[in-house]
Structure formats: structure tokens, C-alpha cells
Structure 1
Amino acid sequence: MNAYAVAHLRSVDFGAEIIEYLQKIDATLAPYGGRFLVHGVDPEVKEGPFPGHLIVIEFPDLGQARAWYDSPAYQEILPLRTENSDGSAVLVDGAPSGYRATDYLAKVIGSS
């Protein structure tokens, strides 16, 4: 099941450090099968405030996403982004094939 690294960058100081980060991140993704799905586009906001940008990177599974994030290569460049932007980042499993919203409802009702 695919997994995703999702970041919501509310603001970015687009200077030399962010340029360096962008020049180096692709090489950190390749060994873990990561690829950008959403990056560098303005979202069409339909509800609520959403300052900034959304980034979505797909991985073959959560283990690969974790391995990428924790890798020495990514950890080396991570401060280039975190020290020059304000945002949040998460790793999350994708929904399995055939998933329906009622699957979650059954899980919630079944656990209470």
C-alpha cells in the first residue's frame, strides 16, 4: 500500500538555503522510490483558510517513507527547509484499493 509524505508550508523564505534544498531533495528520494505528486502549485482553496502550499510525495509503503525521512542524506538537508519555512509535515499510509468511507465508520463504531 502506498504511503505519503505530506507537508503544508505556510510560509517560505525563498533564499539560498531553500534553493539548495530543492537542488538536493530529488537525490534523497530516489533510493526509496519517492516521487512528487503535488509540488510547486497554488491550491484552489474551497473551504477555510489555507495559507501557503501543499507538497505530497508518494512512496511504495510507509517503511520506505520513514527510511527516506530518517536517512542521513535527507536529515543533512532538512534544516535547509525547517530553518527557512513555517509548516507541518506528516507521513501517512494511503487507503487500500477498494476503500470506502464507510470502512472508517465501521472501524469507529466497532471500537466504541
Structure 2
Amino acid sequence: MPAYGFAHLSSRRNHADVIEYLQRIQATLDPFAGRFVIHGPPAEVIEGSWPGSMVLIEFPSLAEARAWYDSPA
């Protein structure tokens, strides 16, 4: 069963650290078959507010998701 990693990005500023992270993250996901499902588009908010954007990464299983999160990469 798939497992997901979710992040709420409260700020969408593209500073140097964010640019480097975006350039390097796919290489950390590949060994664990991770893939972006959502990566930062503005959310359409129906009720309330949602500052920022979101990221959702899918893995084939919870084992791969945990292995990615715990990996040194």
C-alpha cells in the first residue's frame, strides 16, 4: 500500500537554500521509488485560509517512506 510524505510550505520564497534543495531532492527519492504527487502549486482554498503551498511525495510502501526519511541523503 502506498505511503505519503506531506509538507506544508508556509513561505514560497526561492532563496539559495531552496534552489539547491530542489536540484538535489530527486536523487534522494530515486533509491526509494519516491515521486512527487504535488509540488508547490497554490492551493485553492474553499473555506478558511491556507498560507503557502504543499508538497506530497508518494512511496510504494511505508517501509520505503521511512527508509527515505531516515537516509543520510
Do the two structures share a fold, i.e. TM-score over 0.5?
yes
CA distance in 1, matches of 2:15, 2:21: 10
Q: CA deviation at 1:12?
A: 4.1
Q: CA deviation at 1:13?
A: 3.9
Q: Structure 2: which 5+ residue stretches go unaligned? A: none
Q: CA deviation at 1:14?
A: 1.9
Is the Cα–Cα contact under 8 Å of residues 12 and 53 in structure 2 kept in the other structure? no
Amino acid at match of 1:14: N
Task: Report 1:30-45 matches (<5 A).
Answer: 30-45=30-45
Superposed CA deviations along residues 20-51 of structure 1, whole A, max 9, x for unmatched, are 00000000000001000001311111111100
Give the TM-score normalised by structure 1: 0.62
2:6 aligned residue: 6
Name which one, 1 or 2, has greater alpha-carbon Rg: 1
The answer to whether the aligner puts 1:25 opposite 2:22 as a matched pair is no
Q: CA deviation at 1:4?
A: 0.2
Q: CA deviation at 1:70?
A: 0.9
- Choose between structure 1 and 2: higher helix proportion: 1
Partner of 1:11, secondary structure, is coil
Give the CA RMSD over aligned residues. Answer: 1.0
The answer to whether the aligner puts 1:58 opposite 2:58 as a matched pair is yes
Q: Structure 1: which 5+ residue stretches go unaligned? A: 74-112
Residues paired across the two proteins, number: 73
Percent pairwise identity: 59
CA distance in 1, matches of 2:60, 2:49: 31
CA distance in 2, matches of 1:68, 1:18: 19
